[in-house]
Chains A and B, each alone.
Chain A
Amino acid sequence: MTALQNELKLMIIECLDLEDIDATEIDDADPLFVDGLGLDSIDALEIGLALQKRYGIKLDSNSDETRAHFASINALADLVKNHKSI
């Protein structure tokens, strides 16, 4: 697990006020929605806002692309990395 992945996990737990979940229990490749962490559509909006506040990321793409970015911790990490390198 890289530092960025861990940072994203802590951000998600904090911004979604999640209980019963520890950063070490979230698998980098596991789905965040439905099956994996079981997050809902409001959580998706909150994660979008947190990315905007913390990393200045704007998701001005369509839902399908956004959904792909939000698929897992790894996908989110790629999004942040690509944004930083621009």
Chain B
Amino acid sequence: MLHQYSLANWMDTRPSTAVAIRAGVTLTADEFIVNVCQWKHTLSQHSGQRWVVYHSDPYEFLSILYALWYLGRTACIPGDNRPATITRLISEADGGVGEMDAGITLDLSKPNTDFAHTYCTNAELANLPPIDSQRVAIELYTSGSSGKPKSFAKTLAQFDSELHSLHTQFPVAEGATVLSTVSHQHLYGLTFRLLRPFSYGQPFLCELCEYTEDIYHFAQQQSQYVLVSSPSHITRVNELLSWSSLEADCLNIFSAAAPLNKADALCMSKLLDAPLWEIYGSSETGVIAWRKQVNNNQDARWRRLPNVTFEIDNQGKVKVCSLFVDKHSPFLSDTLNIHSDGSFELQGRSDNIVKIEGKRVSLNAIAQVLMSHEWVLEAKAFAITRKRTEVASVIMLSKEGEKQLMLAGRAGVIKTLRTLLLSNFETIVVPRRWRFVDTMPYNQQSKVTLTALQALVEQPALLKWPAIKHISKDTLNVTISCTIPRDLVYLDGHFDQAPILPGVAQVHWAQKYADEYFDISGKFSHLEVVKFANVIQPDEDIDLLLAFSPEKQKVTFSYRSEKGVHSSGRICFA
């Protein structure tokens, strides 16, 4: 069993201990301290207490953290590097470090050795100030239920006691390398992928395993490894790879962020021939409990980690008590069913936060960003489980939004709204299903229920406009080349066996597009010489031709295809 070094006094560690492995090269504690000094030197040229840190390389990331801590500063860690996230955080902090626009980076033109010689004299190394482990070392940001991100502060002393509690339950093994599919920018990854191995002298692999094939690939280069993963990867593991022929020994598999299906947990454990420990915790509370599924007919219950206790308040809310819980928000958002022996089952969340592929997202925040757009009057975001659990959105468009829907179609409107969301949220949590409605599905109690919203998404989107492929126009003529979609609202219930586009819809479209494209001063007055010669059916490619006569204030329309003229007429304005 390995000895735990406190994160503040990690220098007690052996100088040749491996800290990380990057591109096949082992980086030792000696090299790490030079790297930390280099970051410290760079950062000391800027003043400010709180710094936003984002770096995709965990070794550099950890170096930045230590550089800040030696300077007595705090690292603010965003969960993603979306431009809006970073901009907002930086505006609340003193600046940014790492991979971000205008973030402070190292001058890599100077080789490490020169630098070490110039700035990192032995004297400086010896003179590194002690780190106060009671100071706030990091602030983490995560989704809050109001839609505004919540921040949590943690001290190194809290991390130390959390790691100690974990080590009591799951002793850190010597000689194994930590491989991971999760980012260190989140608390689970930060704790399990970086701080836990670091404080026990166990190296972590810098490369992230994005695909399960990467785990296989990198494991081939190790003799022993520990896998830090989550249900996203474990449920999608490539079973065709000959995992059993791997010479590397997998010691432990950790999974957190969301509960695993029992079958998936057992499958992964068997495939890698290693115990799979599921970890339950949250940003607010740190780690709380663990479970390991066994092959019987029940789900394993969660068991608290050493030094974690619960108090139940009079409303049944669970308060977590441990040395590493955030004192300001010790209450769980999950509802638990606690048994007499202290083990428990999870029974869902009690707030408007969902987890999509283990990523915590506030549905209110998504709805709020959507409603900030001028095309949107009202927006609802909610989770729906189809092949995977995903976010969907039901939207009431503004007048301007409706106009865009007519001109640019669903695809155009969705693209704009998606782009807006993508500057604020990771792709995984951006809605994949959209419904535009005239009114929200209120029930008799004037409530919009989740079931009603989900029902809208389970039906195909009903469309009001043709799918436009091309528009050519001049001041007096417009040709709209389009396809008639199957899911058109006007086809609903109209001759189910052989649906056709009703004449009234054809006239309506002609008038709406004429209004949009011509400088018409009058209002609709009447129709002239309207003829419906041939029916228009779904999936047909149609050209809608509009010609405007300003003197007469009339618009001539015709719907044509390769079959000839389907319909024609004149719309008179006065």
- Interface of A toward B, CB cutoff 8 Å: 15-20, 34, 38-42, 44-46, 48-49, 52, 56, 58-63, 66-67
Chain B residues within 8 Å of A18, by CB? 432
- Find B427's partner among A41, A60, A66 (CB 8 Å cutoff): A41
- Find B236's partner among A39, A48, A56 (CB 8 Å cutoff): A48
Chain B residues within 8 Å of A45, by CB? 211-212, 232-233, 236
Is there contact, CB below 8 Å, between A58 and B213?
yes
Chain A min CB distance to B116 (Å): 31
> B5 within 8 Å of A by Cβ?
no
Chain A residues within 8 Å of B426, by CB? 40
- Interface of B toward A, CB cutoff 8 Å: 207-214, 216-217, 232-233, 236, 238-241, 357, 386-388, 410-411, 414, 418, 426-428, 432-434, 461
- Find A62's partner among B217, B238, B240 (CB 8 Å cutoff): B217
The 3 closest A-B pairs by CB, nearest first: A40-B427, A45-B236, A59-B213
Bound complex: CA of A23 vs CA of B138, how far in Å? 47
Chain A min CB distance to B268 (Å): 14
Is there contact, CB below 8 Å, between A48 and B410?
no
Provided the pairs A19-B433, A62-B214 are in contact, do residues A52 and B387 lie with their beta carbons within 8 angstroms?
Answer: no
Is there contact, CB below 8 Å, between A48 and B238?
yes
- Find A66's partner among B213, B233, B239 (CB 8 Å cutoff): B213
Closest to B358 in A: A42
Chain A residues within 8 Å of B208, by CB? 63
Q: Which of A45, A46, A63 has the most CB of B within 10 A?
A: A45
Chain A min CB distance to B393 (Å): 12
Is there contact, CB below 8 Å, between B428 and A59?
no
Chain A residues within 8 Å of B214, by CB? 62-63, 66
Bound complex: CA of A73 vs CA of B330, how far in Å? 49
Chain A residues within 8 Å of B213, by CB? 48, 58-61, 66
Is there contact, CB below 8 Å, between B357 and A42?
yes
Chain B residues within 8 Å of A59, by CB? 211, 213, 238
Chain B min CB distance to A70 (Å): 9
Chain B residues within 8 Å of A39, by CB? 427
9 examples of A-B residue contacts, CB within 8 angstroms: A16-B387, A17-B387, A34-B427, A42-B388, A46-B388, A58-B240, A62-B207, A63-B207, A63-B209
Chain A min CB distance to B491 (Å): 18
Closest to B415 in A: A38
Provided the pairs A20-B414, A56-B240, A62-B217 are in contact, do residues A42 and B428 lie with their beta carbons within 8 angstroms?
Answer: yes
Bound complex: CA of A60 vs CA of B240, how far in Å? 10
Bound complex: CA of A22 vs CA of B217, how far in Å? 35
Bound complex: CA of A77 vs CA of B147, how far in Å? 42
Bound complex: CA of A48 vs CA of B432, how far in Å? 20
Bound complex: CA of A34 vs CA of B239, how far in Å? 27
Chain B min CB distance to A65 (Å): 9
Closest to B232 in A: A42
Closest to A59 in B: B213
Bound complex: CA of A41 vs CA of B386, how far in Å? 18
Closest to A56 in B: B240
Is there contact, CB below 8 Å, between A49 and B414?
no
Chain B min CB distance to A60 (Å): 5
